[in-house]
Chain A
Amino acid sequence: MQLLLAQSGNIMAGRAVEFLVEDDQARPEEGVRKARKLIGQNKVDILCGVISSGVALALRDVVTEAKVPTFLLGSANDLARKAASPYIVRPTKTNWMLGHTAARWTHGKLPQARALTVASDYAAGREFVGDFADTYRQLGGQLGKQIWTPLGNADFGPLMTSIAMERPDVVYGFFAGSDAVRFLRQWKEYRLNGRIPLIGTGAFFDQEDVLPAVGDAALGTVNTFQQSPTAPASAAFNQAYMATGKPLPGEFSTSGYACGQVIKAVLERMGGDISDWENARQALFASPVETALGHMPFDPRNGQAILDIHVNEVRRGQGGKMINTVVHTYQAVRDPGPAT
């Protein structure tokens, strides 16, 4: 996001843009207080960001009431469904998009496989696994045990032994941050890598947060994700991002950049004036935006982006680095959206 502003010289659609950053610490109460500060005190025209779904949901009513256009990066399904708001645009995935495509891919590759699921026991994990299981079952797949672990689990050892005993044909999983690193490390320590295919959501194998910390433990695993450093749309962003001394970009940096591109697009289409948000919204939804996440049309029902979902395989790239490599792309995946 900051990178995009620097590239555009802090000017979008002929209008100087002032950029304010606040830290929500992934805590809803914090996030809401910061958002109110930005709206009430700094009088911002646009809010953008928020990775945590909890914060995003908490903000939903605040920004809707204040009528401030907000671009949210939290991925809870509800934000595209019953919590959709005319003031919220979501230039990122919904959890359903990833769980659904992962089930299609798994079933396509291993139609007879018994799939075991394992995930962090909180909202996002429940959605990913639930959507995976639903689609997988509809396709006729067979589900094995479902394992849940507490968020911030210290030791996955006992779990690995359980999985080794179960001998499933494939494991579908979701973890993020330190949980993902510990899981993958121990997945390898207990020699499950290479013996049982592992498929998961992209954040589980995030290029920036997770892969550098796990060595070759994730080699050969597959994930479905809206972001991939090897997707053609990401190439220009990769270069610019790495030129600032950063590693190959992952989800958060790419989504932030794409979010900026969407904001830029709407400003340009409205000649820099978005005070009439209803019109601006229609202009944005009228035609797709080209972003670092690819060609991005929006669903006018809920302001949700319709995205290409890549199937990434973790492969060894130049210099032995692990890289999420696109092996297939599901075009224009669209969330079921609000129940009609």
Chain B
Amino acid sequence: MGYALVQILNALSFSALLLLTGLGLSVVLSLMNFINLAHGSFYLLGSYVAVYWFASGAPWWLAFPMAFAAAALAGALLERFPFRGFYARTHLMQVLLTYGLSVIFADLMRWGFGAQILSPELPEALQGVVFLLDIPFPLYRLFIIAAGLVLGVLLWLLLDRTLWGAVVRASVSDRGMVEALGIDTRRVFAAVLVLSAGLGGISGALGAGMLAAYPGLDEEVLVLALITVVAGGLGTFRGTVAGALVVGFALTFSKLWFPEFANAAAFSAMAALLLLRPNGLVAPRQRQV
């Protein structure tokens, strides 16, 4: 009983991390129809910021806004050039451009932060452990789950329940109309991209304690995030949540049930899911124009 509960919490904490990375990707994809394969770089940048911040002795919780800011800044610069020119291009061109950029960033970060594996010294407050029916579960993972929940809800409120969110969604469906209302849609899109990059950074900061930080992690995280977003159904908020849960639970429980074929089993499950629901778990309502 306690065992099952703790394993579910394990899966949830991994899902929360997937959700946060996936959300950043999904926001630009659903709202701007832009595929950003450099998202893993934002994540890794956030991880590095957190590692250095925790080591610096400054108040630990500031690491998360710092990681958000660093990645958001990188996102803002990239948005000016070259992303902006690619919003209207085909997905293939976006994939190519951003993949190329991610290769460049990966090498730049290897240059700047070194090739060694870094792992943050977690603050005292997060080092504890709770015992659930005599089975230990780290406090840090509860923190990740909580952060995933809070950030997820905040984002949903922002995009779904505020005027700004309405403007963003309107800019997507009819850009000309929104422009005619006197709103600069270019700035709206820029803001969405910055938000997405920041989300990548903050998830990197949260995940650093679990996944460490090293060259190549950007690619691993990106692939997981992509699978999450796509399995959930492109571009819906609920879809990404569903995708994160499916991928997180599949990867966790396949490890327990088929330890030697864990990845193969999890990937097959995801492929089967995509076959049964070719548009993802939660398909966006189609608009025929």
State whether the Cβ of B163 lies closer than 8 Å to any Cβ in chain A: no
Contact of A210 among B10, B117, B211 (CB under 8 A): B117
Q: Within the assembled complex, what's the spacing in Å between the Cα atoms of A27 and B140?
A: 36
Contact of A155 among B14, B116, B260 (CB under 8 A): B14
Q: Within the assembled complex, what's the spacing in Å between the Cα atoms of A178 and B218?
A: 13
Flag if A213 contacts B6 (CB, 8 Å): no
Flag if B140 contacts A213 (CB, 8 Å): no
State whether the Cβ of A281 lies closer than 8 Å to any Cβ in chain B: no
Flag if B211 contacts A190 (CB, 8 Å): no
Within 8 A of B (CB), among A113-160: 121, 147-150, 152-155, 157-159
Q: Within the assembled complex, what's the spacing in Å between the Cα atoms of A189 and B142?
A: 12
Chain A: minimal CB distance from B116 (Å): 7
Flag if A155 contacts B251 (CB, 8 Å): yes
State whether the Cβ of B103 lies closer than 8 Å to any Cβ in chain A: no
Chain A: minimal CB distance from B237 (Å): 24
Query: A157-B14, A161-B3, A213-B119 given as contacts; is B260 within 8 A of A185 (CB)?
Result: no
Query: A148-B260, A162-B256 given as contacts; is B251 within 8 A of A157 (CB)?
Result: no
With a 10 A CB-CB cut-off, give which of A161, A209, A210 has the most chain B CB atoms: A161
Q: Within the assembled complex, what's the spacing in Å between the Cα atoms of A213 and B220?
A: 20
State whether the Cβ of A182 lies closer than 8 Å to any Cβ in chain B: yes
Q: Within the assembled complex, what's the spacing in Å between the Cα atoms of A165 and B132?
A: 12
Q: For B269, what are the chain A residues with a Cβ–Cβ distance below 8 Å? A: none
Query: A159-B255, A162-B256, A213-B212 given as contacts; is B129 within 8 A of A154 (CB)?
Result: no
Chain B: minimal CB distance from A171 (Å): 15
Flag if B135 contacts A165 (CB, 8 Å): yes
State whether the Cβ of A222 lies closer than 8 Å to any Cβ in chain B: no
State whether the Cβ of A164 lies closer than 8 Å to any Cβ in chain B: yes
Contact of B256 among A153, A158, A189 (CB under 8 A): A158
Contact of B259 among A147, A155, A191, A214 (CB under 8 A): A147
State whether the Cβ of A294 lies closer than 8 Å to any Cβ in chain B: no
Residue-by-residue, is A49-62 near B (CB-CB < 8 Å gives 1, otherwise 0)?
00000000000000
Q: For B217, what are the chain A residues with a Cβ–Cβ distance below 8 Å? A: 178
State whether the Cβ of A272 lies closer than 8 Å to any Cβ in chain B: no
Q: What residue in chain A is nearest B221 (Cβ atoms)? A: A154
Q: Within the assembled complex, what's the spacing in Å between the Cα atoms of A159 and B252?
A: 9
Q: What residue in chain B is nearest A195 (Cβ atoms)? A: B136
Flag if B117 contacts A181 (CB, 8 Å): yes
Q: For A178, what are the chain B residues with a Cβ–Cβ distance below 8 Å? A: 117, 212, 214, 216-217
Flag if A150 contacts B224 (CB, 8 Å): no
Q: Within the assembled complex, what's the spacing in Å between the Cα atoms of A215 and B259?
A: 28
With a 10 A CB-CB cut-off, give which of A158, A177, A215 has the most chain B CB atoms: A158
Q: Within the assembled complex, what's the spacing in Å between the Cα atoms of A212 and B118?
A: 8
Contact of A215 among B11, B13, B121 (CB under 8 A): B121
Contact of A152 among B10, B137, B141, B220 (CB under 8 A): B220
Q: Within the assembled complex, what's the spacing in Å between the Cα atoms of A121 and B140?
A: 28
Flag if B140 contacts A189 (CB, 8 Å): yes
Query: A152-B220, A155-B14 given as contacts; is B211 within 8 A of A182 (CB)?
Result: yes
Contact of B129 among A121, A150, A155, A189 (CB under 8 A): A189
Flag if B259 contacts A154 (CB, 8 Å): no
Flag if A149 contacts B214 (CB, 8 Å): no
Residue-by-residue, is B242-264 near A (CB-CB < 8 Å gives 1, otherwise 0)?
00000000011101100110110
Flag if B136 contacts A164 (CB, 8 Å): yes
Q: Within the assembled complex, what's the spacing in Å between the Cα atoms of A215 and B127?
A: 13
Q: What residue in chain B is nearest A212 (Cβ atoms)? A: B116
Q: For A154, what are the chain B residues with a Cβ–Cβ distance below 8 Å? A: 14, 210-211, 220, 224, 251
Chain B: minimal CB distance from A73 (Å): 18
Q: What residue in chain B is nearest A214 (Cβ atoms)? A: B119
State whether the Cβ of B138 lies closer than 8 Å to any Cβ in chain A: yes
A-B contact pairs, 24 of them (CB 8 A): A121-B260, A148-B259, A152-B220, A154-B210, A154-B224, A157-B10, A157-B141, A157-B252, A158-B10, A158-B11, A158-B252, A158-B255, A161-B3, A162-B256, A177-B117, A178-B212, A178-B216, A182-B210, A185-B119, A185-B209, A186-B138, A189-B127, A213-B116, A213-B212
8 shortest A-B CB distances, which residue pairs? Answer: A157-B10, A189-B138, A213-B119, A191-B136, A158-B10, A150-B263, A213-B117, A181-B117
Q: A165-B3, A213-B117, A215-B119 are in contact. List 17 more A-B contacts (CB 8 A).
A: A121-B260, A147-B259, A154-B211, A155-B251, A157-B14, A158-B10, A158-B252, A158-B253, A165-B135, A177-B117, A177-B214, A178-B216, A189-B127, A190-B137, A191-B136, A209-B116, A214-B119
